Amino acid sequence: MMSQRRGIHVDQSELLCKKGCGFYGNTAWQGLCSKCWREVNQREKQRQIQEDWALAERLQREEEEAYASRHQRAQSQPAITPFNKFEERKTKVKSSKVNTVTKFFTPSIKTPPKKDAGPFDTQSTPSPSSSASRQSTLDSDRAAREFIDFLKPVKSGREIFKQCRAFTESMVYKRDMGADELSESVQDFYQNLSERLQSQFKGSSELVEKVMDEVEKYMMTRLYTEVFCPETTDDEKKDLAIQKRIRDLHWVTIAMLCVPVDEEIPEVSDSVVKAITDIIEMDSKQVPKDKLACITRCSKHIFNAIKVSKKEAASADDFLPTLIYIVLKANPPRLQSNIQYITRFCNPSRLMTGEDGYYFTNLCCAVAFIEKLDGQSLNMSSEEFELYMSGQTSPHWPQPTAASSSSGTAALTQVHNSLDLLTGLGERQERVIEKARQLESDLIDWTDEVEQEVQSALESFPLETQNTTANTASGTASASLSAIDSENIENEQLPPPLQPQMFAG
Amino acid sequence: MKSFFTENTIGAAFVAKPIQVGDKVITLGIWDTAGSERYEAMSRIYYRGARAAVVCYDLTDSSSFQRAKFWVKELQNCEELCKIYLCGTKSDVIEGDRSLRQIDYHDAQDFTEEIGAQYFETSSKTGKNVDELFQKVAEDYNSTAFQFMTEETGVDLGQKKDSYFYTCCHNN
C-alpha cells in the first residue's frame, strides 16, 4: 500500500492496533486502539485500586488492633460513652481519608475511565469493596426502607418511589459527568417532581415539602459517595487550600475581627464550643438538609453567644464576624466540598428562602471573606499582615489587659502563662550558661596565673632547685617540690646549717 | 402586628414574615446583611436572586446617606429584578427635635424618584411606618410576580434588607 505523504513513510501495519483487532492504534495508547486500550487500562487501574484498598484496609486493621489493645481497659468503663462516640467519628473520618489517599494513587483523574466499565462492571462489583462503601450501602438500604415507610400512606407513594429509584440508579452511571451537569439533572428532577406533586396534592405545599425532603434524603444518601467531592471537580484541591489558609491564619484574634463575644463568660464560651462542634459535625452528615441543619444549629449558638456577651440583640454586623471567627477556630473538614455539595444537590427552594438558606449564605460569605482576607480587613498594615502570615512574628500574646479580658479562654490563658514561663526559663538558662562560661575562663586564667608564678619563682631561685632535686632525688615530683621549697622564703632566714666539729679528747 | 417587628424580631437576622395581600398570603423572607465596609466584597452573595431590598440609613447622619447611595448603585448593577426601597430610620428622634435631621425629606424623595425606588421614613422604636413598608414590599412583589412567573407557586420571596432597621448604613 502507498501510504506516503510528505516524505514520511509509515507502514500500514504499524498504524494498526497491536492487539490485531483491525482498528487503528495510537502511540498515546501504547499502540493500541481506543477499545483495547480502555480494556487494558481499565484492568490495570482496577488492579491498582484493589491493591490500594487492600493496603489501606490492612493498615487500618493494624491500627485499629493496636488501638483496641491499648484502650481495652478504657473502653470497658461505661462512663466515657461520649468519648467513644468521638472515637467512632474519628475512625469514620480516618476511613474516608484512606479513600482520598487511593484517589491520589489512581492516575489520570481527568480522563474518565469508568465510562465504559459503568453499566457492566459496576453492576457486578459496585465499587472497590471496603468498609466505607459497605457502610454506605447499609445507609442507603436503611434510607430506602424509611422512604418506603414514609410513602406508604401518601397518595401514589408507589409511583413516587419508583421514579426516584429509577432516577437515582440512572445517576449512579452518570457519575463521570461533570458535577454541574449532575447537579442540573438532579435539580431538574426536584423541580419536575415538586411541580407534579403540587398539582397532585392541590397546593398543599406543606405536604409537598415534606415529600420533597424525604425524596432528597433517599436520593442523596444513595448517591452521596458518588457525588460528594467528585473526581471531575477540583473540590478536593479547594478543600486543602482553604484548610491551609485557615491554618496560616491561626494568629487572628477575636479583637482583630471585632467579634462582639466575651469568652470569659462561661455560657458564652460554652456556646462557642457548641458552635464549633456543630460546624465540624456538618461533614459527617450525608443529606444536604442535615448538613444545613448543622449550620443552622451552629448559627443559633453564635447568636446566643452574642446575646449573652452584648446583653442586647444581635444583628448581621455582629453575626458575620463571629461566624468567621468560628470557622477559623473550627477549620471544618472538607469545607469547600460540603458547600459545593449543598449548593449542587440541595432542594433549591431551601437555599433561596428560609432560615437554613440565610445561614448557609452567611457561611459562604464567611468562607469568601477568609479567602480574600488581607491586612486591611483586619485593620492592620499589609506588612504586618505578611509578617504574621509568614509566621515570622505573632501578635504579642498578653496584649495587655484589654485582650486578656476580651479574649482568651481558660486554656488559652494557661498556654500563654506557660509560654511566659518558658521564655523566663530560657532567659535564666542563658544567664546560667554565660556565668558558667565565665567561671570556666576564670579557671583557665587562674591556672595560667599559677603556672606563671611558678615559672617566675623557678627562674629567680634556680640554685635552690638544683639543691633540692639533688636532695630528694625523685625525678618527676621534683619540680613541684622544688617549687614549694623555692617559695619557702624563710629558708634564708634560717641559721646556717650546723657544721661537724672535731672535739679532741 | 406592630409588636411583630418591634419586639419579637429584634435580634433575629432572619425573619419569615407572612403578609396578607388581597386573598393571598405572601411570606417575606427577610435577611439582615452586614453593612460594614469590611464585608462589601461579599455582599453580592447575600442579594443574589433577591426581589426586593430595603436600604436603610440614619436620618440623623448624613454620611450614612452616602453609604446608602453606594448600596443602591451596587444593587442596581447586580440585581436587575430587585426592587429597591430606601428607608430613613430613627424618625422618632427627628420628631422629637427637628434640628437633628441631616437629610432633607425632599432630597431623599428626589433621589428615590431618580432611581425608581420607594421612599419611607420609619422608626423601629415606635414601629411607625414599618408595617406599611413591608406591606408595600409584599404588594409590589405580588403584582410583579405575575409578570415573571408562569405559575403562581412561589409565595416565598427571597427578600433582603440592609441591616435590621438601624444597623446597616448609619455606622459609617
What is the residue-level pLDDT of chain A in tens, covering all 505 positions?
A: 444 445 556 666 677 787 778 777 777 777 788 888 888 888 888 888 888 888 778 877 777 777 676 665 444 444 444 444 444 444 444 444 444 444 444 444 444 444 444 344 434 444 444 566 667 778 888 888 889 889 888 878 888 899 999 998 888 887 678 888 899 999 999 999 988 888 888 767 788 888 999 999 999 998 898 889 888 888 999 999 999 999 999 999 999 999 999 989 999 999 999 999 999 999 999 999 999 999 999 999 999 999 999 888 788 889 999 999 999 999 999 999 999 999 999 988 888 778 899 999 999 999 999 999 988 888 888 888 988 888 877 775 544 444 444 445 677 888 888 899 999 999 999 999 999 999 999 999 999 999 999 999 888 887 654 555 445 444 454 455 555 555 566 666 777 778 887 776 5
B153 touches chain A (CB under 8 A): yes
Chain A CA closest to residue B15: A355
Residue in B10, B32, B169 to test binding to A, most A beta-carbons within 10 Å: B32
Helices (H), A378-461: 382-390, 402-406, 410-460
- Enumerate residues 13 to 52 of chain B having a beta carbon within 8 A of any beta carbon in chain A: 13-14, 16, 29, 31-36, 38-39, 41-42, 45-46, 49
Q: Taking CB atoms and an 8 Å cutoff, what residues of chain A touch B38? A: 377
Tell me, yes or no, whether B141 lies in a domain: yes
Coil, helix or strand for B29?
Answer: strand
B59 touches chain A (CB under 8 A): no
For residue A292, the distance in angstroms to the closest alpha carbon of chain B comes to 15
CA distances to A115, A141, A282 from A104, in Å: 19, 29, 24
Burial of B1 (0-12, 13-18, 19+ CB in 10 A): exposed
Q: How many domains, chain B?
A: 1
Give the pLDDT score at A360.
94
Q: Taking CB atoms and an 8 Å cutoff, what residues of chain A touch B151? A: 195
Burial of A460 (0-12, 13-18, 19+ CB in 10 A): exposed
For residue B144, the distance in angstroms to the closest alpha carbon of chain A comes to 18
Give the pLDDT score at A394.
74
State the cell numbers at A269: 464560651
* Residue ranges, chain B, pLDDT below 70: 1-11, 145-172
State the cell numbers at A51: 491493591
Burial of A48 (0-12, 13-18, 19+ CB in 10 A): middle
Chain mean position to CA A351: 28
For residue B54, the distance in angstroms to the closest alpha carbon of chain A comes to 15
For residue A324, the distance in angstroms to the closest alpha carbon of chain B comes to 11
The 10 Å Cβ neighbour count of residue B25 is: 11
State the cell numbers at B97: 427635635
Tell me, yes or no, whether B71 lies in a domain: yes
Chain mean position to CA A79: 29
Residue in A302, A317, A342 to test binding to B, most B beta-carbons within 10 Å: A317
ipTM for this prediction: 0.82
Among B33, B38, B154, select the one facing A316 at the smallest CB separation: B33
Give the pLDDT score at A93.
46
Residues contacting residue A342 through CB under 8 Å, at least 6 positions apart? A288, A291, A292, A351, A360
Give the pLDDT score at A351.
81
Give the pLDDT score at A280.
95
Question: Which helix (H) or strand (E) segment is A277 a member of?
Answer: helix A266-281
Tell me, yes or no, whether B171 lies in a domain: no
Coil, helix or strand for A413?
Answer: helix
Domain that holds residue B30: 13-163
Tell me, yes or no, whether B22 lies in a domain: yes
State the cell numbers at A400: 495587655
Cα torsion at A274, A280, A282, A285 (round to 10°)? -110
Chain A CA closest to residue B28: A353
For residues B121 and B168, what is the distance between their CA atoms, to the nearest angstrom?
A: 15
Rg over CA atoms, chain B: 15
Among A315, A357, A377, select the one facing B164 at the smallest CB separation: A315
Give the pLDDT score at B59.
93
CATH number of the structural domain spanning residue B91: 3.40.50.300
Give the pLDDT score at A96.
46
Provide the pairing of β-strand B118-121 with B83-89: parallel
For residues A196 and A215, what is the distance between their CA atoms, to the nearest angstrom?
A: 14
Residue A302 and residue A326 in contact, taking contact as beta carbons nearer than 8 Å: yes
Tell me, yes or no, whether B6 lies in a domain: no
Give the pLDDT score at A6.
53
For residues A289 and A410, what is the distance between their CA atoms, to the nearest angstrom?
A: 35
Among A315, A320, A349, select the one facing B39 at the smallest CB separation: A320
For residues B6 and B89, what is the distance between their CA atoms, to the nearest angstrom?
A: 13
Tell me, yes or no, whether B8 lies in a domain: no
Residue B9 and residue B18 in contact, taking contact as beta carbons nearer than 8 Å: no
Amino acid occupying residue A129: S
Tell me, yes or no, whether B101 lies in a domain: yes
Q: At what angle do helices A354-372 and A316-330 cross, to 10 degrees?
A: 70
Tell me, yes or no, whether B104 lies in a domain: yes
B150 touches chain A (CB under 8 A): no
Q: Taking CB atoms and an 8 Å cutoff, what residues of chain B touch A352? A: 49, 156, 158
For residue A185, the distance in angstroms to the closest alpha carbon of chain B comes to 21
Give the pLDDT score at B8.
43
Phi, psi (degrees; rounded to nearest 5) at B25 = -110, 120
Residues contacting residue A230 through CB under 8 Å, at least 6 positions apart? A175, A179, A182
Give the pLDDT score at A392.
78
